[in-house]
Structure 1
């Protein structure tokens, strides 16, 4: 990871039906996502021109569509799907880091959450 610039969308909340257990598929649950997208922001920093960066709204729209367009048993697969959609949509992204959290997984725990995190770099496609 050569560059340190990134666009961050954190603590995004979605309601979905991802999971292995029957309750997760029928009742659904809340999910929290943290997304970091590695992109060179130096031109935008120097120019103060909105056209030289990537809109948070556009990034969110891709994430939301990817989250909702199909159901996954594993949140690992969900995270990979979101990463793929981000790379497909934004050619300047060098890498993405995605954390998917299940704060209400159907497991008897009083406090806490379960999560995965993936880091993917763009490969020549």
Structure 2
């Protein structure tokens, strides 16, 4: 079995204005975000923040992606979050799930979400805490 360390950020809740319909863009709605950050190497025994990903910084990046821009598609929002994490942090990949629990769909459902998984393309790019 290959060793793997993953940092999970679950249930981040934001009120934002993403959507295709005019009502979504004017009234806004809740979005829930789940993110898994796959670390480049196991770091749990090193007990050193510089050797891992600072999840407080990741949270701020996600918050900025959700609140500072407006997208019609939650797929685009998920892609933007994944891009910011993979280019800004020392990780090997990311899984981003964007939930739209109050999507304007005529039917009874708990949730609509999109999930994307991206591997890091360029290992040389770091924005935060580069060592």
TM over 0.5: yes
2:24 is the alignment partner of 1:24: yes
1:3 to partner: Cα distance: 5.5
Q: Structure 1 residues 101-110 or 7-16, which shifts more?
A: 101-110
1:104 match: 102
Q: Structure 2: any 5+ residue segments left out of the alignment? A: 126-131
CA distance in structure 1 between the partners assigned to 2:119 and 2:40 by the alignment = 14
The correspondence for 2:111, drawn from 107, 110, 113, is: 113
Query: Counterpart of 2:35 in 1: which secondary structure?
Result: strand
Select the structure that is richer in helix: 1
1:93 match: 91
Normalising to structure 2: TM-score of the pair? 0.84
2:71 is the alignment partner of 1:64: no
Which aligned pairs between 1:6-85 and structure 2 lie closer than 5 A?
6-40=6-40, 42-43=42-43, 45-85=44-84
Normalising to structure 1: TM-score of the pair? 0.88
1:88 to partner: Cα distance: 2.2
1:23 to partner: Cα distance: 0.9
Which string of whole-angstrom CA distances, capped at 9 and with x for unpartnered residues, describes residues 46-85 of structure 1? 1223333222211101111111221000000010011111
Query: Counterpart of 1:47 in 2: which secondary structure?
Result: coil
Q: Structure 1: any 5+ residue segments left out of the alignment? A: none
